Amino acid sequence: MTDSLDLPNGPWPTLEPGWVWLCGAGPGDPGLLTLHALNALRQADVVIYDALVEPRILDWAPLAEHIYAGKRGGKPSAVQRDISLRLVDLAAAGKRVLRLKGGDPFVFGRGGEEAQTLVQHGVPIRIIPGISAGIGGLAYAGIPVTHRDVNQSVTFVTGHDQSGLTPSSLNWKAIAQGSQVIVIYMGMKHVEQITGALIDAGRPASEPCAVVCAATTGDQQVLETTLGRMAEDIAASTLEPPAILCVGRSVLMRQVLDWQGMLAGERPRNLDPLGRGRPAEAS
Ligand code: SAH
C-alpha cells in the first residue's frame, strides 16, 4: 500500500477560473476515482458534492471550499435548479468549480441537466466520467454485469421518476421479456412494485437476484435472493439504500467470483455455478 499518489506525467488539463467540471466520483471506494478526477480535485477552488460521494474523496481537495449539495430520492426539482444556478454563479465569480457526483455524472445523476444549464448560461464545461454503481458496484459483489453464458445485453433502470414514484413511462413488460439482465438503481423504495411488475410480465419468480448495498465502501452488504423473495427478504433485513438491485443469472457468478469473501478467507462456493461442465474459457 502506498500513502501518496502522484499523477503520471501529463499533460493534464487545467481547470481554469470560470469553468465547471462535472465529474464522477465513482460508487464509493476512493480508489475508483479516475486520474482526471484526481487532477480536478487538486485544482478546484470549490467542490460541490452530492450525498453519495464518499467523504474521504474530499481529502484530495484540502484547499478547496467543500459545498454539500446532497438530496436523496425524489425531492422537488426546484432544488436541482438551485444547484445548477449555484454552479453558474460560482463560475461567474471566477471560481474553478468541480461538481462531484456519485458514480458517473451522466447515469441517473441529472448531470445532463446541470451541464445543459451551464452551457445555456455560457459557462464552459468539461465532463469526467466515473464508474457507475450499476457496473462497479456489482463487480465489487463478484457479479459481472455481462457474462457470455448469460447475457448479451443489459438494461439499466431507475426505480424512481422525478415525482419519486415508480417510473410510469417504463414498459415493464418489454423490460421483463427483453432484458437478459436488469440493473435497477434507486429501487429499494418501490421494490415490491418493481419485482411484482416483472413477475406479472412473465419473469420467473425463481430468477436469481442480488441486492448490493453501499457497494465498494467499508459497509458493503450483499443479499442473494430471488425475484419472488426479494421484497420480503429486504423487509426482513437491515439493508438500506443506496442499493443496486440486479435481476438475472449473472448473479449466480458470485458463487465463484465473490473476491471480497475470498479476501476474507472464504472459499468459492461453486466453481461452476452456471453448470457449464467445461472450462470457463472453452467455447
Ligand atoms: N450517478 C450514479 C447514480 C445516481 S442515482 C451512478 O452512476 O452510480 C443514486 C442511486 O445509485 C442509488 O439510489 C443507488 O441505487 C445507486 N448507488 C449509488 N452508489 C451506490 C453504492 N455505493 N452502492 C449501491 N448503490 C449505489
pLDDT tens-digit profile of 126-142?
999 999 999 999 999 99
Domains in the chain: ranges and CATH: 20-131 (3.40.1010.10), 134-263 (3.30.950.10)
pLDDT digits (tens, 9 = 90+) for 100-136: 999 999 999 899 999 999 999 999 999 999 999 999 9
Contacts of 227 (CB under 8 A, 6+ apart): 195, 198, 199, 203, 204, 205, 206, 207, 209, 247
Q: Measure CA 275 to chain center.
A: 30
pLDDT at 77: 47
The 10 Å CB-count burial string (b at 16+, else e) for 128-143 is: bbbbbbbbbbbbbbbb
- Of ligand 1's atoms, which has the minimum distance to the CA of residue 220? 23
pLDDT at 70: 77
Indicate whether residue 136 lines ligand 1 (CB < 6 A). no
Residue among 108, 154, 239 whose CB has most ligand 1 atoms within 8 A, to mutate: 108
> Residue 107, SS3?
coil
> Could you tell me the distance, in angstroms and rounded to a whole number, from the CA of residue 18 to the centre of ligand 1?
29
Quick one: pLDDT band at residue 162, thresholds 50, 70, 90?
low
> Which strands sit side by side in the sheet containing 20-24, from one edge to the other?
65-68, 46-49, 97-101, 20-24, 125-128
Determine how many CB atoms are found less than 10 A away from the CB of residue 221: 16
Q: How is residue 52 written as a grid cell?
A: 453519495
Indicate whether residue 132 lines ligand 1 (CB < 6 A). yes
Asked whether the predicted pLDDT for residue 220 surpasses 80, the reply is yes
Q: Measure CA 186 to chain center.
A: 10
What's the pTM? 0.94
Indicate whether residue 216 lines ligand 1 (CB < 6 A). yes
Q: How is residue 17 written as a grid cell?
A: 477560473
Instruction: Name the active-site residue from 50, 188, 253, 258.
Output: 50
173 catalytic residue (yes or no): no
Q: Which of 46, 53, 120, 51 is nearest to 84 (CA)?
A: 120
Q: Measure CA 273 to chain center.
A: 26
Instruction: Name the active-site residue from 29, 95, 104, 186.
Output: 186
Q: Which of 248, 30, 228 is nearest to 157 (CA)?
A: 248
186 catalytic residue (yes or no): yes
Indicate whether residue 138 lines ligand 1 (CB < 6 A). no
What are the residues facing 226 on neighbouring strands?
208
For residue 194, the number of C-alpha atoms closer than 13 Å in the C-beta half-sphere is 29
Asked whether the predicted pLDDT for residue 170 surpasses 70, the reply is yes
What are the residues facing 101 on neighbouring strands?
24
Percent of the chain with pLDDT over 90: 84
50 catalytic residue (yes or no): yes
Q: Average model confidence (pLDDT) for the chain?
A: 93
